[in-house]
């Protein structure tokens, strides 16, 4: 097993865990904060825009079972790459879409995927504004944020309705990677 990690930001981390966690080859997905300037930020600090962090998920995966390319493809389906200042109901720089890369290989894959997505025309004339940035320290969010979709089913289902509509509009039904 060659375990690697990937970090994706695409709005509220509550809705980013489940799509990755249910895939074969994923050993763990954790919600957290990255890209900011304060050590050990809290949810309240990040939400108040005091730390520069973005809500994100860190995915541990076995690259023999699932490729980084597959994870990036799934990411495009879970986060609107044309909205630089948030995702769906989640507004602000702490919800901006970012692929945080851990290596030159991840950067190459993410950049090529972004170019291909833009050239596909799926979003019409809208630009793909998701940034691709070097990974920095990933601070795990408080425990009550972890696996939110399992702990707070009703609230999670409310939160993900606009994501589901986005996915259906641009990617169709039954798409998983």
Catalytic residue among 12, 16, 46, 66: 12
Contacts of the segment 12-15: beta carbons below 8 A, 24+ positions apart = 12/55, 12/87, 12/90, 12/95, 12/159, 13/55, 13/56, 13/57, 13/141, 13/145, 13/148, 14/145, 14/148, 14/149, 14/156, 14/159, 15/78, 15/149, 15/156, 15/159, 15/160, 15/163
CA dist 105 to 58, 143, 171, 177, Å? Answer: 17, 32, 26, 20
Question: Are the C-beta atoms of residues 130 and 81 closer than 8 Å to each other?
Answer: yes
Contact, 130 vs 99, CB < 8 A?
yes
- Tell me whether residue 12 is one of the annotated catalytic residues: yes
Active site residues: 12
């Amino acid at each position: 097993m060659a375990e690697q990690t990937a970090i994706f930001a695409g709005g509220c981390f509550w809705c980013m865990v489940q799509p990755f966690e249910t895939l074969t080859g994923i050993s763990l997905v954790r919600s957290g904060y990255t890209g900011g300037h304060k050590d050990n930020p809290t949810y309240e600090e990040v939400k108040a825009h005091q730390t520069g962090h973005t809500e994100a998920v860190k995915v541990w995966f076995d690259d023999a079972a699932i490729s980084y390319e597959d994870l990036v493809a799934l990411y495009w389906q879970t986060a609107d790459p044309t909205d630089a200042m948030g995702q769906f109901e989640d507004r602000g720089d702490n919800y901006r879409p970012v692929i945080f890369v851990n290596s030159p290989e991840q950067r190459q894959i993410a950049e090529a995927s972004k170019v291909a997505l833009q050239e596909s025309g799926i979003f019409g004339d809208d630009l793909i504004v998701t940034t691709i940035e070097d990974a920095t320290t990933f601070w795990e969010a408080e425990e009550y944020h972890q696996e939110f979709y399992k702990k707070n089913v009703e609230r999670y289902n409310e939160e993900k309705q606009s994501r589901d509509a986005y996915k259906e509009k641009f990617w169709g039904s039954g798409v998983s990677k």
